[in-house]
């Protein structure tokens, strides 16, 4: 079975922990090489975050558990990449519709 190399998650998280603290905790998980967290919306008590995790063999359940233990909720998995390498999205005609 191919190993999961990248996950992009849409997450609702409380203001505490900060994205610095959450990224550090996630980066310490086995198989994780890098974590990127971007905030795209802030409310009075919560933030909507895009969390990108890359590594050699990601365990989604473990990543989800850490996010939930830190008070967050995964709304959706917006991208998943598995296999021997990471492929970035290719531009297609459908991307230019609109």
Domain annotation for the chain: domains and CATH numbers: 4-87 (3.30.70.1340)
Please name the residue that has the structure tokens 């590594």: 55
What is the rounded CA–CA span in Å between residue 26 and residue 62?
9
Helix 60-69 and helix 19-27, axial crossing angle in degrees, nearest 10: 140
Check pLDDT > 90 for residue 1.
Answer: no
Percent of the chain's residues with pLDDT above 70: 98
SS3 state at 69: helix
In DSSP terms, which residues pair with 4 in a beta bridge?
82
On whether the pTM is more than 0.85, the answer is yes
What is the rounded CA–CA span in Å between residue 50 and residue 53?
10
Buried b (16+ CB within 10 A) or exposed e, 23-56: beebeebebbeebebeeeeeeeebbebebebbbe
pLDDT digits (tens, 9 = 90+) for 47-93: 999 999 999 999 999 999 999 999 999 999 999 999 988 888 777 77
């Amino acid at each position: 079975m191919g190993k999961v190399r990248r996950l992009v998650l849409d997450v609702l998280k409380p203001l505490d922990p900060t994205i610095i603290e959450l990224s550090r905790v996630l980066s310490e998980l086995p198989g994780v090489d890098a974590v990127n967290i971007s905030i795209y919306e802030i409310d009075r008590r919560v933030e909507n975050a895009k969390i990108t995790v890359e590594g050699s063999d990601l365990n989604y359940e473990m990543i989800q558990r850490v996010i939930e233990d830190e008070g967050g909720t995964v709304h959706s998995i917006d991208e998943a990449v598995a296999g021997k390498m990471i492929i970035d999205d290719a531009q297609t005609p459908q991307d230019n519709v609109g």
